[in-house]
Amino acid sequence: MKNPRCILITGASSGIGEALAHFYAGPGVFLAVSGRDQARLEDVAQACRDKGAEVSATVVDVCDRDAMADWINHADQAHPLDLVIANAGISGDSGGNSIDLNESTTRDIFAVNFAGVLNTIFPALTPMRQRGRGQLALVSSMAGFRGLPSAPAYSTSKVMVKAYGEALRGVLAPEGIGVSVICPGFVESRITAKNKFPMPLLMKAPKAARIIAKGLAKNRLLIAFPWPFVAFMWCLNLLPPCWANKLLSRMPRKG
């Protein structure tokens, strides 16, 4: 949708989610935003109100299926949603180092990064299908192009998001509902601030938000950036798996 007026964003208290809220905020716009930190979320909400937007800010856990359904249904009843951005996610990996393969941490990553996406889009889908319009944006990652030994749980959760979004696109397009998958590279945020390894082509969140919003306005299936990373991942997937795995095994481990 070129000019969405009623927008819901999860993970809006920092990073890409915060930047998208700032980008879309303006007179005549309703924003429903969620996050895990009440103070940071309220700061984002107030900044968007200062730009003229009407904002509803709610602290809700994307892993709580019932709470998410209640929040999204309430928001949609008050302001029929044009655009839903399933952005909430966590990084880290299977413990202090990906080779630790901590089961609890792995399950937490899958619960937030994939189940959290499902808990966001399904409550919005029913009213969107009834109206015959709307748009879903699923935030994956450049790591979602394949499973990475440097971040097995994180990358696999993002692979699932990417694949599911691509599949949904074909299912929902005949009903007038757009689906886009967002695959950013390194973007400045509270998550990337914890990384202890070099992050080439690190991008500021406002620039990432502009790229994403432009892609959403054009209803692109895949919004992936920056382009050198995209080219690298496409080429990587053309290699025989044994060659690709050998190359990827040299990447820094994600803590």
- CA atoms of 250 and 131, how far apart (whole Å): 49
Beta strands 6-9 and 83-86 are: parallel
Mind telling me the catalytic residues?
154
Q: What is the pLDDT of residues 118-144, one digit of tens each?
A: 999 999 999 999 999 999 999 999 999
Please say if the pLDDT value at position 254 is more than 80: no
Architecture of domain 6-248: 3-Layer(aba) Sandwich (3.40)
Alpha helices (runs of H) in 103-226, residue ranges in sequence order: 103-110, 116-131, 152-172, 205-217
Average pLDDT over residues 41-54: 98
What six digits make up the tokens of 253? 């481990």
Q: Which residue has the higher pLDDT, 147 or 86?
A: 86
pLDDT confidence bin for 255, thresholds 50/70/90: very low
Q: What is the pLDDT of residues 148-201, one digit of tens each?
A: 888 899 999 999 999 999 999 999 999 999 999 999 998 887 665 566 666 766
CB atoms within 10 A of CB 211: 17
Distance CA 71, CA 53 (A): 19
Rounded CA-CA distance 203/15 in Å is 11
pLDDT exceeds 70 at position 250: no
Tell me if 36 sits within 8 A of 59, measured CB to CB: yes
Beta bridge pairs of residue 34:
58
pLDDT digits (tens, 9 = 90+) for 201-239: 689 999 999 999 999 999 999 999 999 888 888 887 787
Q: What is the mean pLDDT of the chain?
A: 90
The domain spans of the chain are: 6-248
d(C-alpha 152, C-alpha 98), whole Å: 7
pLDDT tens digit string along 92-125?
664 455 556 788 999 999 999 999 999 999 999 9
Nearest partner of 140 among 86, 213, 92, judged by Cα: 86
